[in-house]
Amino acid sequence: MDNAKNLNNKVIDELCAQFKIQHRNSTPYRPQMNGAVEAANKNIKKIIRKMTVNCKDWHEMLLYALLAYRTSIRTLTGATQYSLVYGMEAVLPIEVEIPSMRILAEAELEEA
């Protein structure tokens, strides 16, 4: 986290203790080190804005926005963040209802 006062107070300390979260701050004299995180947050905010009707329901769309962000192909790597972390592509919720060619091919391999 950054060193903002709203993220460094007694309430946050108690919340972190309750949920066993180890709270770490980024270095204030190297804000550019947070550039990748800030860029990711900016993109996630854009996705959420497109998915919500008003600003009050953004939290209801956060998980869907994160799924969209993590399963989108990045032009720099030619891969999704999900595949880089887990070594395989994610099975999207729609693929559970309507199997894609990839899912059908994997099912055939498992049967063989």
Q: In 3-state terms, what secondary structure has residue 86?
A: helix
Question: How many structural domains compose the chain?
Answer: 1
**Residue 14 forms part of a structural domain:** no
Bridge partners (DSSP) of residue 32 are none
Tens digit of each residue's pLDDT (9 = 90 or more) over 43-72:
999 999 988 877 788 888 899 999 999 999
**Residue 19 forms part of a structural domain:** no
**Residue 2 forms part of a structural domain:** no
Write out residues in the chain with pLDDT < 70, as ranges: 1-6, 27-33, 112
Structure tokens at 100: 């894609």
**Residue 94 forms part of a structural domain:** yes
Quote the domain boundaries for residue 73: 34-111
The pTM of this model reads: 0.61
**Residue 18 forms part of a structural domain:** no
Structure tokens at 96: 């559970």
**Residue 28 forms part of a structural domain:** no
**Residue 86 forms part of a structural domain:** yes
**Residue 106 forms part of a structural domain:** yes
